[in-house]
Amino acid sequence: MNTQPIQWSDFYKICVGMMNMQSNDFWNSSPREIYLAVQGFQTFNGGENKEEPMNSNRLEEMMELYPDG
């Protein structure tokens, strides 16, 4: 079990700053609702399955495989 205190400022930044939740809605939500909202936001935005940005090695490999002409 996690015994760390909830970092409400971090959740506020995510919910209000990134998810555009109204401040009043944030403060009237239960911790479970906040966790579920953040979890849904992460899933919608790719979560842990999000692809890494292309690096220069991968770009060079693709340029060799698919030359422009």
Q: Is there a domain that residue 36 lies in?
A: yes
Q: Can you tell me the distance from the alpha carbon of 15 to that of 2, in angstroms, rounded to the nearest whole number?
A: 21
- Tens-place pLDDT, residues 18-59: 999 999 999 999 999 999 999 999 888 877 666 777 889 989
Q: Is there a domain that residue 67 lies in?
A: no
- Read off the DSSP letter of residue 45: T
Q: Is there a domain that residue 1 lies in?
A: no
Identity of residue 54: M
Whole-number Cα distances in Å, 52 to 47, 56, 58, 66: 12, 12, 11, 21
Which residue range forms the structural domain that includes residue 27?
A: 7-43
Tally of domains within the chain: 1
Number of CB atoms found within 10 A of residue 58's CB:
11
Tell me if 41 sits within 8 A of 20, measured CB to CB.
Answer: no
Q: Is there a domain that residue 16 lies in?
A: yes
Tell me if 16 sits within 8 A of 26, measured CB to CB.
Answer: yes
Q: Is there a domain that residue 20 lies in?
A: yes
Higher pLDDT, 2 or 23: 23
Q: Is there a domain that residue 2 lies in?
A: no
* pTM score, whole prediction: 0.59
